Amino acid sequence: MRTLRRYRIFLFTLPAILVIGMFFVYPILLSLRLSFTDFTGVGIASDVGWKNYERIFTRSRYLDAFKVTIFFTVIVVFIQTIIGLFFAALLHRLPAVRNLCRAALFTPAMMSFVIVGYVWQFIYSPFNGGLNAALASIGLDGLQHNWLGDPNTALFAVAFAHIWMFIGYTTAIFLAGYANIPSEIEEASKLEGASNWQRFRHIEVPLLASSFTINITLSTIGTLKTFELPFIMTRGGPDGATRTLSLHIIDSLFGKYKFGFASALSIIMLILVVLVAFLQNRYLRSREENT
Amino acid sequence: MRLRHRISGWLLSAMVLIMVAFILLPVFYMIIMSFKSGAEIAQNPVGLPESLNFDNYRNALSKMNYTRSVLNSVGITLSVTVLVSFIGSLAAYPLARHTNPLARALVLLMALGLSTPNFVTITPIYVIFRDIGLLDTYLGLILAFTALNLPLAVFFYTGFIRGIPIELEEAARLDNCSEFRIFWHVIRPLLGPATATLSLFVMLMVWNDFTYPLLLLTDESKFTVMISVYRFVGNHNLSPSDLFPAAVLGSLPLLVLFLFFQRRIVSGVTAGAVK
């Protein structure tokens, strides 16, 4: 009786469980089931066994999409973390401009992917786009380029827009990490005569370990599932150079009405995201404990 | 020595300010370009506009269905905020006060919701919505956004409720209050600041998201702001005199909100991430 009463309060979680059940648990299970069928969105789906998965792992275009997704994520996470850390380290030493700069760096994150995508698409555009025009006006005509039209630069160009958008997030999280460093430690190292670089390298970086974990985990998950910027800026082109996994999902779903196949891709994506997040988190946390 | 230190501090500050301004260039560029006509952009692609020309804005406002889509976005945001804060805080209350296998299982369930990419669930949600008639309705979109924001809300409120002294509840319990009355009359009134931060999040999320409305809406009168921007700009093959005013109109309301609440938004982001 007493245990029953103790659990009765969990009735409060019922609405949340219903919502999560309807929008996460049931859809994932349905996706799993659909992934073994040739469902086209209408009519009856027939079972096709592992055919969808086989297709994904044997066709080079899907393997290429994996590579594009992973490569994109690696570039974004790596550069974003470094630039974010750079700004946080500087701003930490400059209290006078800290809040102003933090807010300014955060501004792009307040904009929508749609708008960031379109604005950057125009900046990169070969004719009177901002970047080429700016290069011309400072006499660097030779560097002008069709940034999004060249398969060699398109992915970097999209990644750059993505990094631009989320620099403020990374910086803000690192700054929160800096705020947690006890001031005694810094005072002591200053008295010992440590240089700025020594303090950064041997005191701040190790003490920021948990901020690294949060930043890297968040930006990895966010970037792995990216869809909006490549969708808006390049539609996956040129020549598949920016076609990420999620772009394939939307394309199979609403371009070709291959619901079964899109489901198989989604399941693989879920496994990829959960696996990467899990492994990364475990590695980063063990690193935290060692320092 | 001290003077040298101070001067190098100023120099460093100036340098950082320049770098930050450089990062903000695309935002200024967007605003400057929104006042230029197509011909002016062709002649003078990067400089300041010759005059403040509002023709682009007039054109965008009349063709974008702006007022209607702003009202749609605001209505959807308000509904989602109410639903998320009620369902989320209700669920967070037992999770914050009890640790047993059931609570741990529920926390795991929320974590699943938090880490599942939209894309994994979008196909089935589309199919379910079509079958039960929620496609192309405000209700469907509101429910989908509620689900999207709920896991974060539960974690957010759980952390916040843990910070409320338990003595307040115990006093009420001695007075024989029911658990729901305790939640409603003791806990709920204290959640104001958490709800404010959460609402800003929901606002950001709903205003800027374009995946759900793109896939779940076809009726133009129900479009959110971002879908209006997408349709308006996308249909015109990236004509700059359409793109830039639409981009400014789409970003402005949130940028103004951010200007006023930036401290709260930034600290909310970092608190949400760090906890």
Closest-CA residue of B relative to A175 is: B270
| CATH number of the domain to which A241 belongs | 1.10.3720.10
Q: What whole-number distance in Å separates Cα of residue B91 and Cα of residue B109?
A: 12
In a domain, A47, yes or no: no
Mean pLDDT across chain B: 86
Region B48-60 average pLDDT: 82
Quickly list DSSP for chain A.
-HHHHHHHGGGGGHHHHHHHIIIIIHHHHHHHHHTTB---SSS---B-TTHHHHHHHH-HHHHHHHHHHHHHHHHHHHHHHHHHHHHHHHHHH-HHHHHHHHHHHHGGGGS-HHHHHHHHHHHH-TTT-HHHHHHHHTT-GGG---TTTSHHHHHHHHHHHHHHHHHHHHHHHHHHHHHTS-HHHHHHHHHTT--HHHHIIIIIHHHTHHHHHHHHHHHHHHHHT--HHHHHHTTT-STTTT--HHHHHHIIIIIT--HHHHHHHHHHHHHHHHHHHHHHHHHHHHHHHH-
Quickly tell me which residue has 């792009």 as its tokens: A108
Supply the pLDDT for residue B165: 87
Domain total in chain A? 1
Is residue A96 domain-resident? yes
Residue A263 sits at the chain B interface (C-beta within 8 Å): yes
Helices (H), B133-224: 138-162, 166-174, 179-182, 192-208, 211-216
Side chain identity, residue B259: L
- pLDDT tens, residue order, chain A (291 aa): 566 667 788 888 899 999 999 999 999 998 898 889 888 877 777 888 888 898 888 888 888 899 999 999 999 999 999 999 999 999 998 888 998 999 999 999 999 999 999 999 989 988 778 888 888 888 887 778 888 888 888 999 999 999 999 999 999 999 989 988 888 888 888 888 888 888 888 888 888 888 898 899 889 988 988 888 999 898 887 888 888 888 888 888 877 788 888 889 889 988 888 888 888 888 888 887 765
- List, in order, residues 6 or more apart from A190 with CB less than 8 Å away: A199
**Closest alpha carbon to B214 in A113, A258, A159:** A113
Nearest residue of B to residue A23 by CA position?
Answer: B147
Question: Across the interface, which of B97, B100, B250 has its CB nearest the CB of A115?
Answer: B250
> Are B153 and B84 in contact, with CB atoms under 8 Å apart?
yes
Cβ distance B244 to A119 less than 8 Å, yes or no, reads yes
Say if the Cβ atoms of A16 and B90 lie within 8 Å. Answer: yes
State the pLDDT confidence band at B2, using cuts at 50, 70 and 90. Answer: low
Query: Do B184 and B248 touch, CB atoms closer than 8 A?
Result: no
State the amino acid at position A96 in one-letter form.
Answer: A
Residue A250 contacts residue A270 (beta carbons within 8 Å):
no
Answer whether B124 sits within 8 Å of A263, measured CB to CB.
Answer: yes
Paired residues of A47 in beta bridges: A37
pLDDT for res A21: 92
CB atoms within 10 A of CB A271: 11
**Which of A87, A112, A269 is closest, CB to CB, to B210?**
A112
pLDDT in tens, B139-197: 999 999 999 999 989 988 998 898 888 888 888 888 888 888 888 988 889 998 889 88
Q: What pairs with residue A37 in β-bridges?
A: A47
Quickly state the pLDDT bin for B79 (edges 50, 70, 90).
Answer: very high
In angstroms and rounded to an integer, the radius of gyration of the C-alpha atoms of chain A is: 24
pTM over 0.80: yes
Domain that holds residue A88: 63-290
In this predicted structure, the answer to whether residue B53 has a pLDDT above a threshold of 90 is no
pLDDT of residue A2: 60
Looking at the predicted structure, is the pLDDT value of residue B270 above 90?
Answer: no
Q: Is residue A13 part of a domain?
A: no
Distances (CA, A) of B114 to B150, B151, B155, B156: 9, 6, 10, 12
CA B202 to chain centre: 4
Q: Quote the ipTM score.
A: 0.86
Are A111 and B120 in contact (CB < 8 Å)? no
Residues of B within 8 A of A105 (CB-CB) are: 20, 23
Structure tokens at A160: 């750059």
Residue A12, domain member (yes or no): no
Report d(CA A277, CA B7) in Å as an integer: 45
The answer to whether position A41 is within a domain reads no
Burial of B31 (0-12, 13-18, 19+ CB in 10 A): middle
Judging contacts by C-beta atoms under 8 Å, the chain A residues touching residue B256 are none
Burial class (CB in 10 A: 0-12, 13-18, 19+), B170: exposed
Could you please report the per-residue DSSP string of A69-131? HHHHHHHHHHHHHHHHHHHHHHHHH-HHHHHHHHHHHHGGGGS-HHHHHHHHHHHH-TTT-HH
The alpha-carbon gap from A152 to the nearest alpha carbon of chain B, in Å, equals 23
- Residue B21 confidence (pLDDT): 92
Which residue among A94, A118, A167 sits closest to B233, beta carbon to beta carbon? Answer: A118
Domain presence at residue A36: no
- Report the alpha-carbon distance of residue B62 to residue A73 in Å, rounded: 40
Residue with tokens 């006499």: A139
A162 found inside a domain? yes
Q: Which residues contact B13 (CB under 8 A, 6 or more apart)?
A: A94, A96, A97
> B120 and A267: CB-CB below 8 Å?
yes
Q: Is A24 in contact with B113 (Cβ distance < 8 A)?
A: yes
What digits encode the pLDDT tens for the residues B199-250? 888 888 889 988 889 889 888 888 999 998 888 887 667 788 888 888 899 9
- Contact in structure between B93 and A14 (CB atoms under 8 Å): no
Q: Answer yes or no: do B238 and A118 touch at CB < 8 A.
A: yes
State the count of interchain CB pairs (< 8 A) between A and B.
Answer: 264
A249 at B interface, C-beta within 8 A: yes
**Residues of B whose CB is below 8 A from A216:** none
Please name each of the domains of chain B with its CATH number: 54-274 (1.10.3720.10)
B98 and A13 in contact (C-beta within 8 Å)? no
Query: How many beta carbons lie within 10 A of that of residue B105, not counting itself?
Result: 9
Which of chain B's residues have a Cβ under 8 Å away from the Cβ of A130? 26, 29, 45-46
Residue A234 domain-assigned (yes or no): yes
**CB-based contact A65:A245 (threshold 8 Å):** yes
